[in-house]
Amino acid sequence: MGILNLLFANREVPNIEDIDVYEKHGGYAGLRKAVGMERQAVIDDVKLSGLRGRGGAGFPTWIKWNGLPKNYDIPHYVICNADEGEPGTYKDRELMLKLAHTLVEGMIVAGYATSSTAGYVYIRGEYVEPAWQVRKAIDQAYKKGYLGKNILGIEGFNYDLYIHLGAGSYECGEESALMSSLMGERGNPRLKFPHAPLPTVSGVWQSPTLINNVETYCAAAWMLANGGEAYAKLGTERSKGTKIISVSGHVHKPANYEIEMGTPLLELLETAGGIKGGKLKAVIPGGSSVQIMTAEQCTKINLDYESCAANGTLLGSGGFMAFNDRTDVVLLMKRTAEFYMHESCGKCTPCREGTRWIYKIMDRITSGNGQKDDIELLLDVCSQIDGRSYCGLGDAAAWPIVGAIKAFREEFEYWIEYKRSPVGKDAVPPSPEVVNPLLTLTPA
């Protein structure tokens, strides 16, 4: 357990962005191996690895890969969700900046396994430098014959990669909204199964579509080179392999750490240099949408899907935020509520109206106008959003508030009664700069 660099193995290699250097370090070996296999064998290898989607939901990857119809009368597409918008998460940024070729390789493997005609890398608009790196990697891959017509001499294996930059919307990281945006529509979520066919049956332009996270494709590239079995040996029983965790907040060494699944939370915290400016107060382990964990709960959590879920939170996208005891959780939640209010697409009633209402209540409480019933009201409003909204954004807006009230109810009560921060005058104002440097990238 602990740090285990699979995807990051070559992170520090100078000029690893260059295709020649990348190839020297074993790059595109996974692809070469994959094209020597039957397409179904590639999918079976992914199945064997036990890889689960790294975007947040942890859905078994092979089911998606296997779900695309095997008749090819209409084109199939591969999409990479690189719209990394979850506050606290910046792993895809580093993967694309330094290891864009791994992503390109993984997407070509996916294209081969699903017989797709084209792939799209949907990158969030603010990620200009990562997009340039991906652009460079794609261009180099074309020159080497990894993309284009009859790839690696295989008759009929034609596959192109395109980059699409988002226009600044968190919602577009939701896979159906991403597809809307990719097709040039407003970035609103689309109907999901069972209301509409799965994307693997009818996705973009009503074609079968495979959509995965950057890290998932990178992991696929690694596992093809090293075998699904090798990957399955790592991690826990149901959470295989490694996960990149973006550590931020009050730690001495905030950075991306690739850890083996099942690493204890506190071990990672130590690796990141430990808490600075005080004692550990709380951790949000999986990005701002998941429930906050108290210091006591942190001792019990291992970083894998099952352990997190068992403790009432989620591993999510791996946006790990640690807070010291100068942190005012109520102010933190006010900032979080503001984020979701700002990012709600407005399509459905609960999210559009509810996120704004939550923010208004949080704003009222933290400006000294809290009412006695406000905590119950917050919980009720959250319950009216959670599970009722059109897509997961509403749930994601409600969970952190409910979680914070559950874990730190007395702080809310203190604010309402004394109209000031329970942490005292030198409380850390969770301004975006402090909570997470990435938040500054979101337009105000």
With CB under 8 A as the contact rule, the residue among 377, 379, 402, 441 that binds another protein is: 377
d(CA 188, CA 171): 7
With CB under 8 A as the contact rule, the residue among 349, 402, 432, 441 that binds another protein is: 349
With CB under 8 A as the contact rule, the residue among 341, 404, 434, 439 that binds another protein is: 341
Pick the closer one to another protein by CB: 44 or 363. 363
Could you tell me the smallest distance in angstroms from the CB atom of residue 358 to another protein? 11
d(CA 383, CA 402): 9
d(CA 31, CA 152): 9
Pick the closer one to another protein by CB: 90 or 170. 170
With CB under 8 A as the contact rule, the residue among 64, 190, 243, 334 that binds another protein is: 190
User: What one-letter code names the amino acid at 190?
Assistant: R
Both tokens of 139, joined, read 């261009």
Q: Choose the binding region for another protein from 208-216, 285-293, 344-352, 414-422 (rule: CB under 8 A).
A: 344-352
Pick the closer one to another protein by CB: 269 or 290. 290
Over the window 310 to 339, marking each residue x when it contacts another protein by CB under 8 A and - when it does not, the resulting string is ------------------------------
With CB under 8 A as the contact rule, the residue among 79, 308, 332, 348 that binds another protein is: 348
With CB under 8 A as the contact rule, the residue among 32, 33, 238, 388 that binds another protein is: 388
Size of the residue set binding another protein (CB under 8 A): 44
d(CA 144, CA 139): 9
> What is each CA distance from 373 to 341, 367, 380, 414, 438, in whole angstroms?
22, 16, 11, 13, 34
Could you tell me the smallest distance in angstroms from the CB atom of residue 348 to another protein? 5
Pick the closer one to another protein by CB: 54 or 347. 347
DSSP label at residue 291: P
Both tokens of 90, joined, read 């910046």
Over the window 192 to 211, marking each residue x when it contacts another protein by CB under 8 A and - when it does not, the resulting string is --xxxx----x--xxx----
Residue 154 phi, psi dihedral angles, 5° rounding: -90, 115
Secondary structure of residue 150 in the 3-state scheme: coil
Q: Any residues with CB less than 8 A from the CB of 81 and at least 6 apart, and which?
A: 55, 122, 173, 175, 178, 211, 212, 213, 214
Pick the closer one to another protein by CB: 140 or 209. 209
Both tokens of 225, joined, read 């080179």
Could you tell me the smallest distance in angstroms from the CB atom of residue 353 to another protein? 4
d(CA 400, CA 86): 13
**3-state helix/strand/coil string of 69-104:** CCCCCCCCEEEEEECCCCCCCCHHHHHHHHHHHHHH
Could you tell me the smallest distance in angstroms from the CB atom of residue 85 to another protein? 14
* Beta-ladder partners of 246: 256, 319
Could you tell me the smallest distance in angstroms from the CB atom of residue 388 to another protein? 6
Pick the closer one to another protein by CB: 288 or 389. 389
Over the window 142 to 171, marking each residue x when it contacts another protein by CB under 8 A and - when it does not, the resulting string is ---------------------------x-x
User: Does residue 344 bind another protein (CB under 8 A)?
Assistant: yes
Q: Choose the binding region for another protein from 37-45, 187-195, 295-303, 318-326 (rule: CB under 8 A).
A: 187-195
Pick the closer one to another protein by CB: 48 or 377. 377
Pick the closer one to another protein by CB: 105 or 374. 374
Contact, 264 vs 302, CB < 8 A? yes
DSSP label at residue 367: I
With CB under 8 A as the contact rule, the residue among 11, 47, 238, 364 that binds another protein is: 364
Q: How many helices (H) and strands (E) does the chain have?
A: 17, 11
d(CA 304, CA 307): 6
Q: Any residues with CB less than 8 A from the CB of 38 and at least 6 apart, and which?
A: none
Pick the closer one to another protein by CB: 28 or 340. 340
d(CA 404, CA 283): 11
Residues binding another protein (CB under 8 A)? 74-75, 169, 171, 186, 188, 190-191, 194-197, 202, 205-207, 341-350, 352-357, 360, 364, 371, 373, 377, 380, 383-384, 387-390
